[in-house]
Amino acid sequence: MDFKTVQDPLHGSIVLDGVFLGLADRHEMQRLRSIKQLGMGSLVFPGANHTRFEHSLGVYHLSGRMASSLELSKEESDAVRAAGMLHDICHMPYSHTLSEIGEMRFGLDHMQAARMLIEGRLRTYSEKDEELFGAEVPIAEMLGAAGISPRKVCDLIAYPESPAMCLEAFSQENGQSYFTSGDYLHQIIHGPVDSDQMDYLVRDAHYTGVTHGAVDTDRIISMMRVFNDRIVLNRGGVTAAEGLMVSRSLMYTSVYYHETVRIAGAMLNKAVEASDLDLRDMYLMTDSDLISSLEVHGGSARSIVRNLMNRRLYKKAMVGYVADLSPDQSRDLAQYASYEDRKMLEQEIADLAGTDISDVAVDIPSESALLSKISIGKTDVSILDGNRVRSITKLSTIAKALQSRDTFRWAVLVSSPKDKRDAVGHAAKKILGM
């Protein structure tokens, strides 16, 4: 059987064999070499030039290790490895930076789009590449020929839980009845200790140079078990799970919600909004394709993106920090958490400041994040303690404390070009009553 060994700076040797070698060479996967994992993060962390491609290989590798540790069947192992490799195949340029505007205009998130692309219901290349890729079969055909269910792979990517439970899946174990939903497979891709986050936390910390990404993946994987159709960790894995949770919480604060990173991302969104680009095909573009298209477009889009590429960033005009907000102010801000409401707020601020909406960027976390202190959502790790499953928060004061730790220091971040900062800041404070 043909195989290749890829050397990864985090995981060492990653073996690509059989259909997985063919999948890695597909043009849909190769596009990910040109999609930065951390979006605009390299403007703050110069080493953060890693891509979605190596992350996808890492998730494939860790998914396979989990499947082996759990002693899954070859059919299940192949399905989760394929899902791990393909889970980001429809990411837009600059990864999550444009996710919100893409979903608003395209109507699908990147996981739903991945299903359509794998099944052959989305075009997989631009018109200029017809000669190169026109004869290639859909990925689903490759998977099917290798004995891997395309539907199962797509379900693992698109749904965080098993999409349905049927009576045929009803079982009993030790006198306890339950549905064999196969949720343990979904938890390998989407779960409190999944392969996706275990790779991106360690990989992002490595390339940004921060020291918060130490995760004992070996210990976590060795402690994994399937109990009543769910993934649990033996009690001996509590400390390693605590380490992962601490890493995730600190990485969100120091990297993913870094104020300057968010401002750079807001500028890219402003450039796209100022253009008339057709976002329906953006999942086919690379980072450089998008920047070139915005530059060619001209006007405000070109001006913003040229400033962005030369790190002439918008400045903070107003910041509302979580620690300074009253409950009433948090509730008031929550009404602007959706994309459409933020655009209305930006227009109102721009009008009062006497400037264009392209000069005002408002960043507000999700409504649930503003109104609740439960962080990230992935804190409910199940621990097998003897014959009983307990939440890690019952066994770990660290885990319990992390549920009430604010993921981000700020609740509203308003930015603008330097010469408009004072006017925009005053307008934002007046409108928001801050």
**Which residues, 6+ apart, have CB-to-CB distance to 398 below 8 Å?**
242, 245, 246
The pLDDT assigned to 177 comes to 37
Residue 110 pLDDT class (50, 70, 90 cuts): confident
Is the Cα torsion angle 12, 17, 19, 21 positive or negative in sign? positive
Q: Does 227 map to a domain?
A: no
Flag whether pLDDT at 319 surpasses 60.
yes
Residues of the domain holding 139? 1-162+177-208
Flag whether pLDDT at 47 surpasses 90.
yes
How many CB atoms are closer than 10 A to CB 386?
Answer: 7
How large is the average pLDDT for residues 372-391? 74
Domain of residue 125, CATH code: 1.10.3210.10
Q: How far apart are CA 285 and CA 34, in angstroms?
A: 9
**Number of domains into which the chain is organized:** 1
Flag whether pLDDT at 208 surpasses 50.
yes
For the stretch 126-158, pLDDT in tens is 888 999 998 899 999 999 999 999 999 999 998
Q: Does 335 map to a domain?
A: no
Q: Does 32 map to a domain?
A: yes
Q: How far apart are CA 89 and CA 117, in angstroms?
A: 9
* Amino acid, single-letter form, for residue 37: Q
For the stretch 155-172, pLDDT in tens is 999 875 554 433 333 333
Phi, psi (deg, nearest 5) at residue 408: -130, 150
**The token pair that represents 105 in the structure block:** 């205009």
Task: Report the relative pairing of strands 3-8 and 12-17 from DSSP bridges.
Answer: antiparallel
Q: Does 298 map to a domain?
A: no
Q: How far apart are CA 235 and CA 223, in angstroms?
A: 8
For the stretch 3-42, pLDDT in tens is 999 999 999 999 999 999 999 999 999 999 999 999 999 9
**Which residues, 6+ apart, have CB-to-CB distance to 312 below 8 Å?**
none
Flag whether pLDDT at 54 surpasses 70.
yes
Q: Does 97 map to a domain?
A: yes
Express as a percent the part of the chain with pLDDT over 70.
91
- Closest by CA to 405, choosing from 376, 375, 379, 370, is 375
- Confirm if 378 and 192 have CB atoms less than 8 A apart: yes
How large is the average pLDDT for residues 303-316? 97
- Closest by CA to 200, choosing from 54, 330, 73, is 54
Q: Does 147 map to a domain?
A: yes
Residue 182 pLDDT class (50, 70, 90 cuts): low
Q: How far apart are CA 33 and CA 36, in angstroms?
A: 8
pTM for the model: 0.91
For the stretch 212-248, pLDDT in tens is 878 999 999 999 999 999 999 999 999 999 999 999 9
How many CA atoms lie within 13 Å of 6's alpha carbon, on the beta-carbon side?
A: 20
Q: Does 195 map to a domain?
A: yes
The pLDDT assigned to 263 comes to 97
Q: Does 109 map to a domain?
A: yes
**The token pair that represents 134 in the structure block:** 């026109």
Flag whether pLDDT at 379 surpasses 90.
no
